[in-house]
Structure 1
Amino acid sequence: MDMDGDWPLPRPNTLFKDHRRTVSSSLSKASSLASTFSLLARPVVADAVQRARDLSTQGDAEGFHQLRVALRKLRALYWAYSPYLGEEVSTQATEEFKRLAGVAGGTRDWDIAGDLLEGARESGAAVETLLVAAQQKRAEAVVHSRTMINGDDVEAFLSDVLQRAVASLQSSCNELPVGSFARDRVRRAQRALKKRSVHAARNEVAQEEDLHDVRKAGKKLRYLLEFFQPVVKGDHGRLIKRLSSAQEKLGQFNDIAASETLIRRTAFDEVSPEIVRESLQWLHEQKRRRMRAASRRVKRIAN
């Protein structure tokens, strides 16, 4: 069965490379919601498909990371259009985006943990056996990700959910212009980020879960600004840079917090409990330092 049907997927290598230029030249405030969804989603889908196909022959950290980024962008876009997509279409798509990102994330998580353990070793911590074990876990995660993520299946799924989304938009809001809609969705994302930042900033040092919520809200806003910049009034380049800078601090904290949790929850048969405890202690100290830096950045956002 040809899952592409009336919607042949564009060739990823050329379309995604020219994504920003194509959108800037084609998107206008008078464009319809249905047509802009297609224009915005297709290059991201093409990139996700290409990344998924590359995993069959490549196992580099960047490939897994970029696949997760593409899926997160699609989640943000589906959130933006969710008022007109319908709950069934939106929920099915976003849940699968989340699942695929989680599968790809297994390898990426061990890459991050391994890099941090390298830092611990350089600082003098006796983590050699744990580092070797983490590398083995990473190799196992690559096999799992390749087994669970098949390029053909990903392409068929994404093609299907895109066709369903466009059909839903064409039937519910085909003639509605995107200008006011985009401004409203960006404002909602801004308010959500502000709300989560104010909540997190109430404590001298923000709680882990609060920092995670701010990070997710910031990503959503940044992706929407990148998608809708041609039709949202004002130059948002500076804001996007500020959000990216904040995301870097929050991401550094998230990496070490996730690595601490990953190591704490993993059974290492060949590693002594003492070495695991020493590693966790080092990670915890680093986490406290990064948490303070992330909290300071969140306070700036809140203010």
Structure 2
Amino acid sequence: MDMDGDWPLPRPVTFLKIDRRNSGSPLSKTNSIPSTFSSLASPVVAEAVQRARELSTKSDAEGFHQLRVAFRKLRALYWAYSPYLGEEATAQATSELTRLAAVAGGTRDWDIAGDLLKAAQDSGASVEMLMAAAREKRAQAVVHSQTNIRSDDVEAFLKDALHRAQSALQSSCDDLPIRAFAERRVRCAQRALQKRSRRVAQNEATHEEDLHDVRKAGKKLRYLLEFFQPVIKGGHGRTIKELTAVQNKLGQFNDIAASETLIRGASFDEVPPEVVLASLQWLEEQKCRRMRAASRRVRAMAG
């Protein structure tokens, strides 16, 4: 989706700065809904802009990954406030955030694939030529990310999106207290996760799509708990810890599944087909093993 056609972006005059002192717990139960959106989004926006600026001259995989995480957190925040932002505005912003996250993730995805191919080599598979080709794909992904994620454009989009959201919230829910709203949205995210987890638990066979759905729902809930923890009742530190543990298992499975998809969808002109096939067979075996482990963890959570 080309957001530029529907959403004119102002050119930024100044850059945002991350204030670590105020980004930890910016909320209190007396805050209004509009003010909390700005308090929660601004540090994440500032981090995204700073990382985009740093990555214009660097190719650090972790930097690209953290940029993708920032975009995902903002997407979760838009979902949380969507009842007051409206369907169209939420869809516009999240569509562009999804696109940016995908572009930012390309380098990280090839790094993960490269690490897995190294593990395949350590286990005896002859994948040296494919590993070299994967490093070249990684270099191409860096160029693609740097070309399509420019800090000025990222800042312009995010600042404009934040301004539009703030205006919409002030006109639709000014002075409404945050606690009841936050608890309601967290419960909604919890129900979505429970529904997807039960689907995995009730089906005799585990499907990749169901595990991916659980992973996405778990991420959303964890982000919301981290955002709203200062104002919602009850301690949720244990829940966040449990979600993180489940996400780790699901993430290990997702790394394999995503790498398999990445390699299947790429062209390797200089690599013999039998080498690519051997790597895919190894990945398929590992994917099945990790899928079983992830499924057991999800079933335990659902039970």
Q: Does the pair score TM above 0.5?
A: yes
**Alignment CA distance shift 1:9-1:86 (3 Å):** farther
Residue 119 of structure 1 deviates from its aligned partner by 0.3
Residue 161 of structure 1 deviates from its aligned partner by 0.3
Partner of 2:157: 157
Partner of 2:67: 67
Residue 30 of structure 1 deviates from its aligned partner by 2.0
- Secondary structure of the 1:201 match is helix
- Paired with 1:204 and 1:138, the residues of 2 have a C-alpha distance of 38
Partner of 2:17: 11
- Paired with 1:111 and 1:49, the residues of 2 have a C-alpha distance of 23
Question: Is the Cα–Cα contact under 8 Å of residues 59 and 142 in structure 2 kept in the other structure?
Answer: yes
Question: Are 1:259 and 2:259 counterparts?
Answer: yes
Q: What does 1:68-87 align with in structure 2 at a 5 Å threshold?
A: 68-87=68-87
User: Residue 162 of structure 1 aligns to which amino acid in structure 2?
Assistant: L
User: Residue 20 of structure 1 aligns to which amino acid in structure 2?
Assistant: G
Residue 9 of structure 1 deviates from its aligned partner by 5.9
Partner of 1:271: 271
Question: Is the Cα–Cα contact under 8 Å of residues 9 and 42 in structure 1 kept in the other structure?
Answer: no
- The range that moved more, 200-209 or 168-177, is 200-209
Question: Is the Cα–Cα contact under 8 Å of residues 16 and 47 in structure 1 kept in the other structure?
Answer: no
Residue 2 of structure 1 deviates from its aligned partner by 6.0
Give the number of aligned pairs.
295
Unaligned runs of 5+ in 2: 1-8
User: Residue 106 of structure 1 aligns to which amino acid in structure 2?
Assistant: G
- Paired with 1:64 and 1:196, the residues of 2 have a C-alpha distance of 29
Question: Is the Cα–Cα contact under 8 Å of residues 11 and 152 in structure 2 kept in the other structure?
Answer: no
Q: Any runs of at least 4 consecutive aligned residues in structure 1 with deviations exceeding 6 A, and if so which? A: none
Question: Is the Cα–Cα contact under 8 Å of residues 16 and 49 in structure 2 kept in the other structure?
Answer: no
Partner of 2:4: none
User: Residue 203 of structure 2 aligns to which amino acid in structure 1?
Assistant: N
- Paired with 2:272 and 2:53, the residues of 1 have a C-alpha distance of 39
Q: Deviations over 1:74-113 (max 9, x none)?
A: 0000000000011222111110000000111111110110
Question: Is the Cα–Cα contact under 8 Å of residues 205 and 295 in structure 1 kept in the other structure?
Answer: no
Question: Is the Cα–Cα contact under 8 Å of residues 256 and 283 in structure 1 kept in the other structure?
Answer: yes
- Paired with 1:294 and 1:19, the residues of 2 have a C-alpha distance of 33
Residue 49 of structure 1 deviates from its aligned partner by 0.6
User: Residue 268 of structure 1 aligns to which amino acid in structure 2?
Assistant: F
**Alignment CA distance shift 1:107-1:156 (3 Å):** same
- Paired with 1:9 and 1:136, the residues of 2 have a C-alpha distance of 33
Question: Is the Cα–Cα contact under 8 Å of residues 10 and 160 in structure 2 kept in the other structure?
Answer: no
Q: What does 1:1-303 align with in structure 2 at a 5 Å threshold?
A: 3=11, 10-12=16-18, 15-16=19-20, 18-21=22-25, 23=26, 27-303=27-303
Aligned-pair identity (%): 68
- Paired with 1:301 and 1:196, the residues of 2 have a C-alpha distance of 11
* CA RMSD, Structure 1 to Structure 2 (Å): 1.4
Question: Is the Cα–Cα contact under 8 Å of residues 64 and 107 in structure 2 kept in the other structure?
Answer: yes
- Paired with 1:93 and 1:250, the residues of 2 have a C-alpha distance of 27
Residue 205 of structure 1 deviates from its aligned partner by 4.4
Residue 4 of structure 1 deviates from its aligned partner by 5.4
Residue 272 of structure 1 deviates from its aligned partner by 0.3
- Paired with 1:221 and 1:9, the residues of 2 have a C-alpha distance of 30
Unaligned runs of 5+ in 1: none
